[in-house]
């Protein structure tokens, strides 16, 4: 994986994805190692982030590397009208790898085409979030002991939720069954469903979470992505479509784990946090180990 880009989850084969997860297990046991002392990593966040940026920066710090970058493009020369191409070509001169989040779908692919250092996509608009996918896979494997043959229930904004898009594509390699719970306006895009069909796997669509919650192995809640709506009235109509409450978990499977890429708004009540089936904060922690593994593999130190 040395010097490779990670723009789409399909940039890595199933075997390569599993290699990342295996190395992440090693970093979970021993997260602080002097592997990246010679390396400078750039984090360019054109959109807000807490977990992705800070877990990448934590991963770099734990491995002894240095970080440059910005958390708000308004503090960079983008504000003066600099193009994405010129920004990437410049930052590639100052760093060995660029982690980028950008609101425009396809921006990470474009960046990878003009950069002479590897690009890791930390989320490009409503398209994909492949490093989140790897940490989601890590968490699913950690909690279920396998990635194969699971009942995955996705809930919420399946149209704009990029984490759902890339995780669905990845889990198509593991014979999972997909249960898609969303308002009619926020269904999973056909461009993602086609991956399920291509593998002859099954998906079912619902508007009522109660129809399927008791059959879930993984309940993957998502936020309605307000920032992707062009009309605020449309957002208001769907914003509280699903709110998971503790008593809704009474008859769920013993092995069920509740995941959420976070941040949450209202879609999981705080009374769920103490339920042993809630796993979303551990999921966020796993982001450090998975991103350590990715950096080590792409920079060729592992």
| Sequential DSSP letters for 5-39 | -BSSGGGS-HHHHHHHHHHHHHHHH-------TT-
Q: Could you tell me the two tokens for 51?
A: 């977990």
The reply on whether position 226 binds ligand CP by CB under 6 A is no
CB of 251 to ligand CP, least distance (A): 29
Burial class (CB in 10 A: 0-12, 13-18, 19+), 218: buried
Nearer to ligand CP, 35 or 168 (CB): 168
Q: How far is CA 179 from CA 6, 25, 205, in A?
A: 27, 29, 6
Q: Which of 8, 95, 132, 173 binds ligand CP (CB under 6 A)?
A: 132
Catalytic residue positions, numbered: 51-52, 80, 101, 129
Q: Which is nearer to ligand CP, 162 or 179 (CB)?
A: 162
Report the DSSP beta bridge partners of residue 257. 218
Q: Which of 2, 211, 236, 263 binds ligand CP (CB under 6 A)?
A: 263
User: To 5 degrees, how large is the angle CA 18–CA 20–CA 26?
Assistant: 110
**69 versus 123: smaller Cβ distance to ligand CP:** 123
Applying CB under 6 A, which part among 34-42, 43-51, 82-90, 175-183 lies near ligand CP? 43-51
- Shortest gap between Cβ of 197 and ligand CP (angstroms)? 27
**Cβ nearer to ligand CP, comparing 182 with 222:** 222
The residue among 222 and 241 lying less far from ligand CP, judged by its C-beta, is 222
Which of 5, 17, 52, 173 lies at the binding interface for ligand CP (CB under 6 A)?
52
The nearest distance, CB 120 to ligand CP, in angstroms, is 13
Q: Considering only residues 152 through 211, tell me which ones interact with ligand CP, judged by CB under 6 A.
A: none
* 44: β partners: 70, 100
Question: Does 261 sit near ligand CP (CB under 6 A)?
Answer: yes
Instruction: Give CA–CA dist 52/288, Å, rounded.
Output: 9
The structure tokens 């269904």 sit at 187
* Residue 187 DSSP class: P
Instruction: Point out which residues bind ligand CP (CB under 6 A).
Output: 49-52, 123, 129, 132, 261-263
């Amino acid at each position: 994986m040395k010097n490779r880009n990670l723009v789409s989850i399909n940039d890595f084969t199933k075997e390569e994805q599993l290699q990342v997860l295996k190395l992440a297990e090693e970093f979970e046991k021993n997260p602080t190692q002097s592997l990246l002392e010679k390396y400078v990593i750039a984090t360019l966040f054109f959109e807000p982030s807490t977990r992705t940026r800070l877990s990448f920066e934590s991963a770099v710090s734990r491995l002894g590397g240095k970080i440059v970058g910005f958390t708000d493009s308004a503090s960079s020369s983008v504000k003066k009208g600099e193009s994405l191409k010129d920004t990437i070509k410049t930052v590639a001169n100052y760093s060995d790898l660029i982690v980028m989040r950008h609101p425009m779908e396809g921006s990470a692919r474009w960046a990878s085409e003009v950069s002479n250092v590897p690009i890791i996509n930390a989320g490009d608009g409503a398209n994909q979030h492949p490093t989140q996918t790897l940490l989601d896979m890590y968490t699913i494997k950690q909690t279920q002991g396998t990635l194969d043959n699971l009942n995955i229930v996705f809930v919420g904004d399946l149209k704009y939720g990029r984490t759902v898009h890339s995780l669905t594509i990845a889990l198509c390699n593991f014979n999972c069954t997909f249960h898609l719970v969303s308002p009619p306006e926020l269904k999973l895009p056909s461009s993602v469903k086609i991956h399920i069909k291509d593998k002859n796997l099954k998906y079912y669509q619902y508007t009522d979470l109660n129809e399927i919650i008791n059959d879930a192995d993984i309940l993957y809640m998502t936020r309605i992505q307000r920032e992707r709506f062009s009309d605020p009235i449309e957002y208001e109509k769907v914003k509280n479509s699903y709110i998971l409450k503790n008593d809704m978990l009474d008859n769920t499977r013993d092995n069920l784990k509740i995941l959420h890429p976070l941040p949450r708004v209202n879609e999981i009540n705080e009374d769920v946090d103490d339920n042993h089936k809630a796993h979303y904060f551990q999921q966020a922690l796993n982001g450090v180990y998975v991103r350590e593994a990715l950096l080590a593999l792409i920079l060729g130190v592992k």
